[in-house]
Structure formats: C-alpha cells, structure tokens
Structure 1
Amino acid sequence: MRKLLVLLTAVSFVFGLSACSSNNDTKADKKETPKETVAPKVDVKKELVRFYMDLGNKINAKDADLNAYVNKASKPDAKPEELPTADEKAKASESAAAVAAELTNTQIPAGLKDQKAELEAALKDYAASYQAMADELKKDTPNLDAANATFAQGEEKLGKAYEGAKLLSPTLGKQVN
C-alpha cells in the first residue's frame, strides 16, 4: 500500500510539473510575440526636451569663436587692445556660418510631427539669424541687432511649440551664450 501511495504521489507530481511548465511556455510565447499593429506611443514632452538639448549642443559645438567675439566686443569699458582682432572677427563669422549650416540641416524627429511646422519655422529663423551674424561680421563695423531680432522671433516660435505641449517656453539664447 505504501508503494502504491508513493507511486501515485510521484505521478501526480510529474503531471503537476508538466502542466505548470507548458503553461509557462505559452506565457513566454505570448510575451515574445511583438505587436506589429500597434505603434509605440511617443512621449512628446520628452521628445521636445531632447530636441531642445540636442539643438543647444549642436550650436554650442560650433559657436565658440562667435561667443568669444561677442563677449570681447560687448565690454563697454574695453581698452583698444582688449577689443577683438580682425582675425577673431573672421573666425566669429566662420563660426556663425557653420552654425547656420548646421541648423539648416537639422531634422525634426518623427515623434514631433504635430509640432513640426512650428519647430521648422523656429529653426529657419535661428539659421537666418546666424547667417545674418556671419554676414555682418564681414563688415568693418558690424551691427548684430537685426540678427538678434531674428533670433528672438525663433525663440517665440520655439516657445509656441513647447506651450502647445503644455511645457514652459525654453530660452535657447541662454543655453548657447
């Protein structure tokens, strides 16, 4: 009797394990099967923040000479020897032109299709601003006021895209200067 009881317990244990293992296999198959019909949900806020950070990084990678020139040229009580040299002004012009080219080639991420028009308009203004700076810096007495006004228009357009996603308007000028 005892042998029969042990044998029945062992058989029921084997059936129980096989039932559990086949159940786990079907669960694993369900997890591994990708859902091709459902597109992944995009977190627009994260995408906008990432776009803003990438934009600032792209500009900062190319505008060091421009920033150095502007910092030197904007000192109100600078002595003549502290003012930017012609070589520094030429490098600043090249730097601004490089930023304009980079901004012109910047693509809007696919996840931001609802903000694409506003972001493209902002990029266009930013690129025009940097190109205007590059052109002005080729003159004997450059005036960057018009370029700064165009940059401000880009800031407004960028801000509208962020406000539409219920985010605070970023200030790209603070990140790149």
Structure 2
Amino acid sequence: MKKLLLVGAAALFLGACSEESATKDTTAASTENAEKAPDAKQELMRFYMSIPQTINAVDADLNAFEAAQMKEALPEGDDLAAMKEAAIASAKEAGTAVEGIEIPESLADHKSDIEGAFASIKESYEMKAAELTKEASFEAANAKFVEADEVFNKMLEEQGLAPSSILNEVSK
C-alpha cells in the first residue's frame, strides 16, 4: 500500500512538473510572438494619436481664425487681412505636415486606405486656404475631412476600438 501511495505521489509530482514546464514553454512562446509582432491595436492607437498631434503643432492660426469666426468676433481691416494670411499659411503647413506622416510597417495592410485618408485631410486644408481668400465657409472642407475620419474609424472599429474624430481633435 505504501508503495502504491509513493507511486501515486510521484506521478502527481511528475504531472505537476510537466504542466508547469508546458506552461512555461507556452508563456515563453507567447512572449516571443508578442515581441516579434507588436500589438496591432496599440500600434494603430499610437499612429492615430500622432496625426492630430502633428497637425496641432502647425494649425494654431487657422484654429484662431475659425474660433473667432464662430464667435462672430473677427477683426476688421488690416487686422482681418493679417489674421487670414496667418490662417492660410497655417492651413498650408497643416497639409504639408500630413504628407510627412510616416505609416508604420505594422499598418502596411491599410496603407492605401491611410494614404487616401491623408489625401482627404490635405485637400481639406487646401480648401480652407482657398476659402480664406473669400468669405471663408469651411463646410465643404470639413465634410472632406470627415471622409478621412470615416476611414480611420473603420480601422479603429476593426481593432475593437471606439471611433473618434481627428477633425474634432485638430479644431481645438
């Protein structure tokens, strides 16, 4: 009986050791895979958040114009002309900044969609710059920007992330 008990205990011990070893092997393999392929969700979020940061670095004068326009507090005469010129330069810089954003290799499957979204954003800023030479109605330009938001939101939702709006982020 004692021998049977010893054999049973040894079997349990060996079974536990082999399970622990298998768990370590699985954990090591998972860690190795995680290190090789960055988490797509995190990479997408990092990239997505870099877009408004890049634009916000150069679009302050455009935002100031739009805010003053919404409050119906635009200056007149030379001050308005100077504000419009600064906003035009800001809009052009924003379009150029978007062109300079690099798409990470991990998002290569979405490269054509991202490039299309960037083209919409750039076109939106070009439209704003053109509107600033007139009465400055930005409805069509903002609608163009929404096209880019829709592309990015589709990508976010595919990763189980909540949709967002780059337009809202850059209009602050």
Tell me the TM-score normalized by structure 2.
Answer: 0.73
Deviations 1:34-71 (A, max 9, x none): x9xxx811211111111111111100000000000000
Runs of 4+ in 1 over 4 A off after TM superposition: none
Residue in structure 2 matched with residue 70 of structure 1 by the alignment: 66
2:150 to 156, 164, 168: 156
Q: In proportion to residue count, which structure has more helix?
A: 2
Q: How does 1:104-143 map to 2 (within 5 A)?
A: 104-139=99-134, 141-143=135-137
The runs of 5 or more residues in structure 2 that have no matched partner are 1-31
Residue in structure 2 matched with residue 16 of structure 1 by the alignment: none
Pair 90,115 (structure 1): closer, same or farther in 2 beyond 3 Å: same
Q: 1:117, 1:80 → 2: CA distance? A: 42
* Cα distance, 1:115 vs structure 2: 2.2
Kindly indicate whether residue 51 of structure 2 is the aligned counterpart of residue 51 of structure 1: no
2:165 to 160, 168, 171: 171
The runs of 5 or more residues in structure 1 that have no matched partner are 1-34
Percent of paired sites with the same residue: 36
SS in 2 for 1:85: helix
Deviations 1:5-48 (A, max 9, x none): xxxxxxxxxxxxxxxxxxxxxxxxxxxxxx9xxx8112111111
Aligned residues of 1:56 and 1:176 also touching (Cα < 8 A): yes
Pair 42,80 (structure 1): closer, same or farther in 2 beyond 3 Å: closer
Deviations 1:47-103 (A, max 9, x none): 111111111110000000000000001114x4866xx61101110010000000111
- Count of aligned positions: 137
- The letter of the residue matching 1:94 is A
Residue in structure 1 matched with residue 20 of structure 2 by the alignment: none
Q: Choose 1 or 2 for highest CA Rg.
A: 1
SS in 1 for 2:36: coil
Q: 1:167, 1:120 → 2: CA distance? A: 21
Q: 1:123, 1:80 → 2: CA distance? A: 32
